Amino acid sequence: MVHTMRALAHDRHADLRLRCGLPADIAILLDLEGKAFTTDQLSRKSFRHFLDGPNAYLLVAELDGVLAGYVLVIFRPNSIMARLYSIAVFPEFTRRGIGQALLAAAEAHAQERGCHVMRLEVEINNASAIRIYEKSGYCRRGHAASYYDNGSDACRYEKSLVQAGSRTR
């Protein structure tokens, strides 16, 4: 699956392309993990597992041919719930709508797989991510103490992927 769209904000002439992640992307994804997260970074082995497994969806964003970010969604068999496992954008590509485009594409894919709800955890002090999630329709549903490896807490969020008045499966 490949989607091309105009990038938002700063560079309106840049093309944003969304595509499924590939094993060849792992080295860049590891670099992104190191730049985006100080704790709970995905390993090479984890990326390989998610790329090979039927219950994960890893989508990458390329801006003018350069990998700019990714989103990873996990699915449980026979569940109507999807879990946004990780989303990251290289610092030099932030504030261009890439994260929002990845989030929207992840939600659309979850809907296509028959999921009705997307859940996620976000570090309690990550105000910018929390703003994006709340702006995108996510509601806080709980708190997890000492959730991350560094001991920080997480907020649990979820969003209904089923539109009011639509039929469910």
Q: pLDDT band at residue 149, thresholds of 50, 70 and 90?
A: confident
CA pseudo-torsion sign 64, 66, 72, 78: positive
pLDDT digits over 70-86, tens only?
999 999 998 999 999 99
pLDDT digits over 14-66, tens only?
689 999 999 999 999 999 999 998 888 999 999 999 999 899 999 999 998 99
Q: What domains lie within the chain, and their CATH numbers?
A: 2-160 (3.40.630.30)
Average of per-residue pLDDT values in the chain = 88
pLDDT confidence of residue 10: 42
Query: Is the pLDDT score of 98 beyond 80?
Result: yes
pLDDT confidence of residue 14: 66
